[in-house]
Amino acid sequence: MREEQSIQSSTDFETEVERNYRHNFTVNVLDGTTFWLGASFIATRTILPLYVSHLTDSTLAIGLLAMIVSTGWLLPQLFTANWVQRLPVKKVVVVQVGFYAERLPVFLLILSAWLATRSQTLALVTFFIFLTWHVVGAGVIAVGWQDMMAKVFPTARRGRFLGITNFGGTATGILGASAAVYVLDQFEFPYGYVICFAAAALFIFISWVFIAQTREPAQVSKAEPISQREYLGSLPAILRKDPNFRRYMFSQIVVVLGGMAVGFLTVYAVQRWNLPDGQAAAFTISMLSGQAVSNLIFGWLADRKGHKLVLELSVLCGALAVGIASIAPSPIWFYVVFVLVGASAAGFILSGIMIVFEFCEPEIRPTYIGLNNSVMGVFAALTPLLGGWLVITVGYQALFVISFIISLVGLALLRWMVREPRHVNQASAQLD
């Protein structure tokens, strides 16, 4: 009887997912599109590093910015996974907690930029406080958002959804970045940044309105509730039992180390050739163009060939970006560099998120998400600071070469040590 009830419950859940598929597809594409539009006004690889460089000449501050952006989103996820795993509806985390944790602090960034008219030190301190609040807040709700996406979109259509969403987001982001070019060129510092931060806050709030319309069916976890201490103590056993996932995580650690130079690309180009601030937004347009086209290609490829291949191509694009930057004789080469950076980011955002869903059963999906992302967060915290130290010690170009070599090592590990989890799961199902 219990088995029949379980089957019926599973059937009802899948029916509800299919019934709401088009609605959820629409509102979540609109969420992603408007979020990316807002994010283009505070692009973390181009506009924000240049903003920080106006407030301080310390390369370590730029490294700190890159560390916060990567680590703040990744590191908290393991510590929220146990909580999220027990929730029958993840939307509570994404919408209710997300408004205060992720969306509200973007409005406060406007205050930081305005303070630069009075005190650059105060502006810098408040900027890092509000940015950290925003990014860490995004990390707090990240497992809930990822698990909600995995629930409302079937496996064979996830790549299509995220590819189209990110295409729409990067396409509108190009418009946003174009507007940012005009604003930063027309208004003296810091007023151009005040306007950019205000635009970011507006569109990121609108995206919250869309995601709040998601229809997520409830799904009660069958696992017994355990304490956070017991939960953390169980994690090593998961890694021991899943060697393919363990090898995947190791390859990604190396890839993260290889990405240490990305946050320094804009500052290097602007300083070396004495470019105007609007050039940072122009590079953002190149990055978003590469990201937009790659999203459509990678979404299609992921659904048909799996996410591992997409990640391999993403690592290769990232390696080529820093490799070209190391030998670029003029700033025009950096348009190509940022197209490749955008393509690399597209693959990591799409398949870096989605591939983890396929290593495990739905019941423990938040644990796999949190474990993978938090471990990556530890290394993401160190690599930008290492990059900043290398700039001081050996210079920008040497940093780019080192990153290029490490990225190729990460690509080799991912290519030849990790099996496509979708194929592994299909083989296991056939054996069963």
Radius of gyration for the alpha carbons in the chain, expressed in angstroms and rounded = 21
**Rounded CA separation 422/432 (Å):** 15
CATH class of 15-213+235-427: mainly alpha
Q: Check residue 125 and give its pLDDT.
A: 95
Per-residue CA distances from 130 to 109, 190, 283, 309, 387 (Å): 6, 17, 25, 37, 23
**Extents of the domains making up the chain:** 15-213+235-427
At 111, list the tokens.
């205050």
* Res. 424: pLDDT tops 80: no
Question: Model confidence over 405-422: pLDDT tens digits?
Answer: 999 999 999 999 999 997
* Res. 6: pLDDT tops 60: no
**Rounded CA separation 84/76 (Å):** 12
Per-residue CA distances from 294 to 15, 113, 197, 245, 301 (Å): 32, 33, 27, 26, 10
Question: Model confidence over 361-390: pLDDT tens digits?
Answer: 878 888 898 888 888 888 877 887 888 899
From first CA to last CA, the distance across the chain in angstroms is 22
DSSP assignment of 34-47: HHHHHHGGG-TTTH
When pLDDT is averaged across residues 324-329 and rounded to a whole number, the result is 95
Question: Model confidence over 69-103: pLDDT tens digits?
Answer: 877 888 888 888 888 888 899 999 999 999 999 99
Give me the percent of the chain exceeding a pLDDT of 70.
95
pLDDT, mean over the chain: 88
